[in-house]
Amino acid sequence: MLGPRLKKLRVAKKLTQKQLADQIKVTHVSISGYENGNRYPDTDTLQRLADYFDVSTDYLLGRSDSVRAQSIIVAGKEIDLSAEELELFNELKKHPVMFHDLASNPEKSVKEFLQYYKMKKMFLEDEEEEYGDGFGELED
């Protein structure tokens, strides 16, 4: 199961075997072997692959179909999140008032909330680039 999944992830990022090998510090022959099923990575290399593609080692090995590296439980429901989303979610948990409507549809609510936050962050970054520091800081 490792071979096809690794190749799919590599191709999706438009990487050659050599480029991926350079990123995770192995030879391109190793990557070829992993993808063809002729070789298997050691645990450290497997973890580097998972970290690089932001997936779980269980996904790479075929033990899980969940592509995401992390999951959380909200209102009794498991929700898969990327490492970036998990970091953001953990930061936002410090402000519980923002999560008052999660119980009705926790997965949809969390994903929408994270999307809104990302859009707001992108908008503010674009605004800073466009206007510079001329408007000062925004207050909460």
For residue range 89-126, what is the model confidence (pLDDT) as tens digits?
777 777 666 666 666 667 777 777 777 777 777 777 66
- Are 83 and 55 in a shared domain? no
- Are 21 and 53 in a shared domain? yes
Structure-token match 């929700």, residue found: 79
Q: Is the dihedral angle over the CA atoms 68, 7, 61, 41 positive or is it negative?
A: negative
- Give the chain's domain count: 2
Q: Is the dihedral angle over the CA atoms 95, 98, 102, 103 positive or is it negative?
A: positive
Distance of alpha carbon 120 from alpha carbon 125, whole angstroms: 9
Give the model's pLDDT for residue 128. Answer: 55
- Are 53 and 97 in a shared domain? no
> 11 lies in a domain?
yes
- Are 83 and 53 in a shared domain? no
Beta strands in the chain (DSSP E): 70-74, 77-81
Q: Read off the DSSP letter of residue 99.
A: G
- Are 43 and 88 in a shared domain? no
> 118 lies in a domain?
yes
Give the model's pLDDT for residue 56. Answer: 82
Give the model's pLDDT for residue 46. Answer: 94
pLDDT band for position 4 (cuts 50, 70, 90):
very high
For residue range 7-56, what is the model confidence (pLDDT) as tens digits?
999 999 999 999 999 999 999 999 999 999 999 999 999 999 998 998 88
> 69 lies in a domain?
no
Q: What CATH code is carried by the domain that includes residue 44?
A: 1.10.260.40
Q: Which domain holds residue 33?
A: 2-61
